Amino acid sequence: MFNQFGPYEDEFAAWRRDGLPGLSPESYRFVEALTSVEDDTAPREGTLWPHQWEAFLRVVYAHEVLGGKTIGANGLLLNIVTGGGKTALIAALIAWLRIAHGTQKFVLLCPNLIVKDRLQKDFEKGKVFADRDLLPSWSGVRPEDFASLTLGGNGSGWAGLLGANIIIGNIHQFYASNKAGQSNLSGLMNGPDFAVFNDEAHNSAATEYDLALRKMREKTILRVDTTATPDRADGTTPDSTMIYEYGVQEALYDGIIKTPVVYQPDITLVQLTYTDARSGEQRRVEEIDWAEVDRLGLSATQWVTDDEPMRQQMAIALRRLEEQERRAKGRYQPILFVVAVCKADAEKAAHTLDAFFKIRTLLVTEDSDETERQKARELSQQRKRGNPYRAVVSVLMLREGWDVPEVGVILLLRKFSSEVYGQQVIGRGLRRVRTAGLTPDEPQICAAVDHPKLGHDWLWRIFNAKRREGVQIDDLFDETEDLPEPPPKQVMDAPGNVIDVPPIDPNLVGVGEFDLGEFDVAPEPMQGWRLHLDMIEYEPTVTEITGVQIAGVTGQELAGEGWKVVQSAPELEPWKATKPIISDADVREAVKAQVLEIAEDLTIAAGYAATFKDRVYSGLMQHVRRKFMSGNSLGLADRAEVDYAWKMLLQMKSRVAAIPGLVAGMIEHDDQ
Q: Rounded to whole angstroms, how far apart are CA atoms 78 and 495?
A: 18
- Tens digit of pLDDT for each residue in 279-298? 888 777 888 887 888 777 77
Compute the mean pLDDT over every residue in the chain, rounded to the nearest whole number.
83
- Tens digit of pLDDT for each residue in 245-254? 998 888 888 8
Instruction: Write down the pLDDT at residue 74.
Output: 92
**Given a cut of 60, is residue 594 above it in pLDDT?**
yes
Report residue 495's pLDDT band, with 50, 70 and 90 as the boundaries.
low
Evaluated on CA atoms 289, 265, 394, 461, the torsion sign reads: negative
User: Mean pLDDT throughout 626-655?
Assistant: 91
**H-only helix segments in 473-612:** 479-482, 529-534, 584-605
Phi-psi category of 177—alpha, beta or left, where left has phi over 0 and alpha has psi -120 to 50?
A: alpha
Instruction: Write down the pLDDT at residue 513.
Output: 53
User: Mean pLDDT throughout 517-535?
Assistant: 81
Instruction: Check for a shared fold between 6-254 and 259-476+542-567.
Output: yes
- Tens digit of pLDDT for each residue in 140-153? 999 999 999 998 86
User: Mean pLDDT throughout 7-35?
Assistant: 95
Topology of domain 259-476+542-567, CATH: Rossmann fold (3.40.50)
Q: Count of residues for the chain?
A: 672
User: Mean pLDDT throughout 165-169?
Assistant: 93
User: Mean pLDDT throughout 437-455?
Assistant: 87
- Percent of the chain whose predicted confidence (pLDDT) is above 90: 39
Spelled out in words, what is the top-level CATH class assigned to the domain 6-254?
A: alpha beta
- Tens digit of pLDDT for each residue in 449-492? 989 888 887 666 665 443 333 434 344 444 444 454 555 555 55
Per domain, the residue ranges of the chain are: 6-254, 259-476+542-567, 583-668
User: Mean pLDDT throughout 26-44?
Assistant: 95
**H-only helix segments in 378-521:** 419-427, 457-461, 479-482
Instruction: Write down the pLDDT at residue 296.
Output: 74
Instruction: Write down the pLDDT at residue 403.
Output: 72
**H-only helix segments in 361-482:** 370-377, 419-427, 457-461, 479-482
